[in-house]
Chain A
Amino acid sequence: MEEELEQKYKSITRSVAAIDSQSKVSGALKYITDMRIENMLFASVVRSTYAHARIISIDTREAEKISGVKAILTYKDIPGLNAYGAIVPDAPVLAYDRVRYYGEPVALVAADTEELAREAASLVKIEYDPLPVIRSIDESIASEAIALHDNGNIARHTIIKKGDTERAKREAYMTLDRIYRTPFQKHMFLEPEGGVAYIDESGIINVFAGGQSPYRDKLQIARSLNIPPEKIRTVNYPTGGAFGGKDDITVQIHLALLAYKTGKPVKLWFSREESGVAGYHRTGSEIHLITSVDKEGTLLSNEAQIYLDTGAYQSFGPTILDVSIETINGPYRIPNYIINANLVYTNNGFSSAFRGFGAPESNFAIESMINELASELHLDPIDMRLKNILMTGEEGPFGNTIRHGDGLREALMRAKNSKIWNSVIQNKKPWQRSGVGIAVAIKGVGFGTLPDYPTAAIEIATEGKVKIMFSNVDYGQGINTGNAQLVAEKMDIPLNQVEVRHADTKYSPDTGSSSASRSTFASGNALLLACSKALDRLKMEACFYFGVTSEKLEYKEGRFYYNDRSVGIYELAKSLKARGETLRFESTFEVPRYPAPVEGTLEVPHVVYMYGVLLSSAVLDELIGNIHINQAEFYADIGTVINPSIASGQIEGGIVQGLGYATTEDLKYDVNGKPINNNYTTYIVPSVRDVPDIYVEFIDSLEELGPYGAKGVGEISIIPVGASVAHAVYNASGKWIRDLPLLPWKVI
């Protein structure tokens, strides 16, 4: 198949090196937090030292006395809306009457040096009246709980039903009732949140910051500064890792506000500890499932009660809840279900987007449940899944039509025939026990039923380059390379003739955010449309050049041919330019979606789904409870693979990040709501020694709606890790663990 594809395509389906890899490896590439501007000020954020308290007073007088301090800003200095949040703006830019998490921003300081800024920040006196700290979902929904917001402690509640679960349970051979819990997870990107802002000669506020959604950031800044969005430019490149943690606002509004108030360039970046305290994390979850099957393992019903802990504010919480809802039935045919879903406020920091976006939480529950049911029924868990997965053309759980269920079936068949699934592991030591686990993942590509109109542009540069522009940020996932390959393929030119302009609202059209595994699908499709537009125009020019009609022309390798004569696209571009015509071609792609969301949801269902099957092989040390995953195999249905090397890297990275989530990462808050483990010493992420041998196999698959058949890849592999590893641990130890992470004391 690979060979066939290599013949079919010239630039895609090939593992070319990421176009910025040399500059990254050599250190030549400077990240945004490396930026320095002459005469820039340094900012520091005064943060709440309480997780929940009323603010009695804010006294900046002592801090103002420090020489070199140029600005101290509080909520009074915000010209516009003192709130942000991608979906619901409920988080204050600067707290005014109350703080709801430890580390919440209360004031901003800008000074000549970083040290002065920190010193002044430490002198801002805030008087608090402490309030009870809500530390868990249970505490939050208790009737006597103090309300964290005007609308109470449940930020969103919805119920979605189909069929009759009561009847299904009555008729079922077996019903299991289980509660599954997952922890908060920190993003731990290598480059913490940060950026630089300055006002240029034309009065535009330029905000260079690590981010994932330049246009949405721009609008959120404009809303708080109360200035037209046209007065703001956001640039998000290069960004040293994001994983969802930079999708909503981090430093952007603070930076813009300080630059706006001081008129000077300002830099603000978080230390690792500050990122640990003030940065976002994944929602914690508690999911209660009651699932019924018949004797042969056919799923009959699923009752799900989902609680997600969004922390102090919502950010993406409402849509994260939607993804949890959409994935709680897995990729399975379940005729009867009832989903009672809740997004709950607590004082546990601030949850936001994180790779998988509500799917890892639901997946741990439903996939663990499937494994438990298979075990109880003495069925092979792969056979049970094969029996229940929705196939191509079937109606999905939310009235949607399954487009490519056959890809998942193939992935399961390959897993079933794999070596590790069929091998008997020999333990090297008497205290070791081994087991192999399985889980399946499903995840929608893009924003479901939400309107999505990504726009991208290409420019035929007369010096022999095709420049491409889109607002998806390359924060390491390789979208710049993948898109360059797509354009090279479409324009039939060598890859080195494609030049990518990084996400920058001054030049790049609004392609939307780099999230939801959507960038390839969204910007790729928009770029292909822009290429078609450019080729159409160039063809007309070629007709003029040769004096013939278009059907007589042939296009190949960047040139139009008429008999034995030819003309190149750059030459044609020169003549267009000479006539004053634009060489920039912009197109909008309307992302296919169902006409309306399922009642009770914002964006369910999606049209396009990615699938994956993860086998993991665990070695358990019975003496100390340590789990080592020594092998992992991932079978992925992600449509056409634009760059197999980058896609494999994404899958391997997701698995390793998932292993941290499954086995060691456990963000904890103390009794006062202060995060305990906020750096790499105390918050344990996998190191290179923890990384298993990972084998990745792509299923031959083509999604007709995607660019050259591609779907997406960014999130799919992290989603099944928790359930797959928990299953492996069960097979090693005979113990089901239903709350992640699988720490030693839970295992032995």
Chain B
Amino acid sequence: MKVFIELGGTFIYQFGREHVLDLHEGSTIEDALNILGISERIYIITVRNGSIAKFNDKLKDNDKLVVFPPIGGGN
């Protein structure tokens, strides 16, 4: 299955911005992060198809995953 991943914030500089991963059925967000080489598991937010998701949530074909560190700006 294909999963579209967008990284945000400072992750862009380390891992690039857009990725398309070809994953096995049953793969989780954790699996996707491992493939991308993202080891951060605390200071990180994962959003699957517009909703906050957990690392062990399973991905589906054509899912859009957005991964970014907590953000801020413009106070």
Contacts and interface: CB of A to CB of B under 8 A. Distances in A.
Contact of A447 (B6, B50, B52, B73): B73
Contact of A450 (B42, B43, B51, B68): B68
A516 B72 contact: yes
Interface residues of B, number: 22
A216 interface: yes
Contact of B73 (A316, A451, A590): A316
Interface in A447-505: 447-448, 450-453, 455
B42 A603 contact: no
Contact of A515 (B50, B69, B74): B74
Given A220-B43, A453-B47, A453-B52, A212 B75 contact: yes
B27 to A, nearest CB: 21
A11 interface: no
B13 to A, nearest CB: 9
A222 interface: yes
For chain A, what secondary structure do more than half of its interface residues adopt (helix, strand, loop), or is it mixed? Answer: loop
B34 interface: no
A450 B74 contact: no
Interface stretch (A24-32, A256-264, A353-361, A688-696): A353-361
A213 interface: yes
Interface string A616-637: 0000000000000000000000
A453 B50 contact: yes
Question: Counting chain A CB atoms within 10 Å of each CB, which of B17, B69, B70 scores highest?
Answer: B70
A452 B9 CA distance: 11
Given A229-B42, A588-B50, A588-B51, A451 B8 contact: yes
Contacts of B12: 597, 602
B74 A444 contact: yes
Interface in B38-55: 42-43, 45, 47, 50-52
Contact of A223 (B43, B47, B52): B43
B70 A515 contact: no
A16 B52 CA distance: 34
A305 to B, nearest CB: 22
A279 interface: no
A510 B70 CA distance: 11
Nearest to A248: B72
A357 B10 CA distance: 18
B67 to A, nearest CB: 8
Contacts of B43: 89, 219-220, 223
Given A223-B42, A450-B9, A216 B74 contact: no
Interface of A: 86-89, 212-213, 215-216, 219-220, 222-223, 228-229, 243-244, 247-248, 316, 318-320, 322-323, 353-357, 359, 443-448, 450-453, 455, 509-510, 512-513, 515-518, 588, 590, 596-597, 602-603, 715
7 contacts: A219-B70, A354-B75, A355-B75, A357-B75, A445-B74, A446-B73, A451-B68
Given A354-B75, A510-B52, 5 more contacts: A320-B73, A323-B74, A446-B74, A451-B9, A588-B52
* CB-CB nearest 8 A-B residue pairs: A516-B74, A244-B75, A353-B75, A319-B73, A515-B75, A451-B8, A216-B70, A357-B74
